[in-house]
Each structure stands twice: as structure tokens, then as C-alpha cells.
A and B are shown apart, each in its own frame.
Chain A
Amino acid sequence: MKLQKNTRLALFSVLEFATDPTRHISAAEIADKYGVSPHHLAKVLSELARAGLVESARGVGGGYRFTGNARRLTLMDVIEMFEDFAPPEDDRREPGERTPVGQALGAVLSEIDEIAKATFRSITLATMLRLLERQQRSAAAIRRGAPAP
């Protein structure tokens, strides 16, 4: 499963916001950190705001802050806002999909997708933040020359 650019931006953004729900973060700060255009990111953020996951504040010190529940919101909840998992219409099928080989290959690809979806459904933002924390601790330990925790 390959995630579209907007989906990845949405995941980056909610994780940035959920790290500290009290802090307002500007779109420019996130755009700069992930190397994307603020204009592109703004569209993603307004979608997240419409879904009630972030709220914006104008003016000095303004920006967006997380308003969702990090212990409940899964990666899949965010992904589903930007990805269309419905089977493609007949006119959008890839050439060869209807052949016996194409159908067998489709069954394998669908098996992979189902595992990916189950994985995304089982990971909350809180779990992701803990994973991030562990990775940062390990990286810091390696930098210090200590065994990774």
C-alpha cells in the first residue's frame, strides 16, 4: 500500500500536533520541517480541521493545535480521510487485471493490503508517539555509545 502525499502530510501533521496538544504550531513550521509547500499543507490542515482533529487560532502565536483523542485516533482513521479504498470502477482497472494471472496477482496484493490496513487500524497516535520516543531514546543511546535501551 503506497500512501499519497496528502495522507503522509496529514500523518506527519497530526503526530506533530499530538506531541503537545497545548501548543499552537504554524503551518509554515511543519511545512519547513517536512520540506513541503505551505500552500499544499494548508489544504491538508483544513481537512483535518473540518474533521475536528485540529483547530486553528489566528494572530501572533497562532497556528493549529491538536483537538482529537490521541489514545483513540488510529493511523487508519487519518488515512481513510485521504485515501479511497473502494475497488476501482471497471474503466479504471489496470490492463490485465481480469486475466487469470492478473486475478491471482490481485489476490496476493489484496492479502498484503489487508495486513497493512489491520496494522494501521491497530496503531493509535499515542502508540506512535511512544514508538517515536523509544526510537529517539535508542538513537540518543547509540550517539552516547551506550547500549540501546
Chain B
Amino acid sequence: MSVTRPPSPARKATRAGAPQAPQDPAVRPVRRGDLDSIVALDARVTGLEKRAYWGSLYRRYGASMRAERQFLVADAGGRVVGFIIGEVRDWEFGAAPCGWVFAIDVHPDARLAGTGARLLAAICAGFRRAGVAKVRTMLSRDNNLVLSFFRSQGMMTGPFIPLEMDLDALPRDPAAGPAR
């Protein structure tokens, strides 16, 4: 569940002639009526319309009414121009609970106006209210745009290192019996 995508500031080129969103969109909790805009915004970037997926995220994060889960949108005069989703996670290996951002997106026409920064600031304020002192995220090291955005907001490499391996590289589980 990681749909972090370029929010705004560090793009190499600006979109000449792109219509400007009204200044200072307000950040507020998501409403069910925002889902169409969010699905469309996501589809614009990914090329896939994932209505069921976003409905599920809305139920778990938007309608949960729990301080630990946040699904916020940037509302520019009634038009949803961006969103951010995150939650407080308790981690293993001795780490204290922290805020975790796992999705952020801003409409291409509303980028380079500080919308991503406002969304991140709002979710961080929520994390603070929920009692945590750190915010973290994880994304592909090839995702330079979003990495640059988080960096521009003051985030730095944390003390945890993500590790992975191909399961095919493991010896088969002897308890699973012979391969068919």
C-alpha cells in the first residue's frame, strides 16, 4: 500500500500555461464525496481507475475517526487538488511508534504552489496530536521527484534500512512437501 507520487516542488520543468489552482487550498479530512476526485487524480497519474481500492482506503483511514489514521485532502474552493494518507505505526525491532506517510499526490495543475507542503504539515500536526515525535516514509530510490519533495521538507535518511530478497532465492520449505 504505497502510492507515494510526486507532489510538487522539485520538478525539473514547470508546465507552461498550466492553469493555476486558487492560492492556499485548505487541508481538511476526506469526505465520501471526495472519492471521485481522488480516484480521478490517481488515475491521471497511474492510468488505472482503482475505485474499490480507494473506497477501501476511505473506509479504513477516512471514516475510521481514529487519531492514529489520517486521510486528508487539499480543497481549493471546493475542488480536491491533492491528498495525503498516513497512520501511526508501532514497529518491531525496538522502534518507538511513529507517523508513517504512505500516499501523497497533488493534481499536476496545482503543483509548485506549496500544496504538498501544506498536506505534509497538516498530517504531521495530526501525528503530533496522536503522541508521536517522528514521521517516516519509504519509497523507491528511483522516485526522485517524491524523494526530493520529502527532502525539501526536511526529511533525511533515518536509522532503518529496508531489506528485501526474492522468495524464489530461498530453499523450499521442507514441510511443504515435494514441488509439483
- The residues of A with any CB-CB pair to B shorter than 8 Å are 71-72, 74, 114-115, 118-119, 121-124, 126-127, 130-131, 134
Contact = CB atoms under 8 A, between A and B. Distances in A.
Nearest to A117: B141
A114 B152 contact: no
A114 B140 CA distance: 12
A122 B154 contact: no
B141 to A, nearest CB: 4
B137 interface: no
A122 B148 contact: yes
B144 A122 contact: yes
Interface of B: 9-10, 12, 141-142, 144, 147-148, 150-152, 154, 157
A130 B152 CA distance: 8
A79 to B, nearest CB: 14
Contacts, number: 34
A121 B144 contact: yes
Nearest to A115: B141
A115 B157 CA distance: 10
A127 B141 contact: no
Contacts of B12: 72
A115 B147 CA distance: 12
Contacts of A131: 154
A114 B147 CA distance: 14
B141 A118 contact: yes
A20 B146 CA distance: 27
Nearest to B11: A72
Given A122-B148, A134-B154, 14 more contacts: A71-B9, A71-B10, A115-B141, A118-B141, A118-B142, A121-B144, A121-B148, A122-B147, A122-B151, A124-B148, A124-B151, A124-B152, A130-B154, A131-B154
A118 B140 CA distance: 9
Contacts of B141: 114-115, 118
B148 A123 contact: yes
A122 B143 CA distance: 9
A114 B10 CA distance: 20
A115 B141 CA distance: 7
Contacts of A126: 152
Minimum-distance CB pairs A-B, first 3: A118-B141, A122-B147, A127-B152
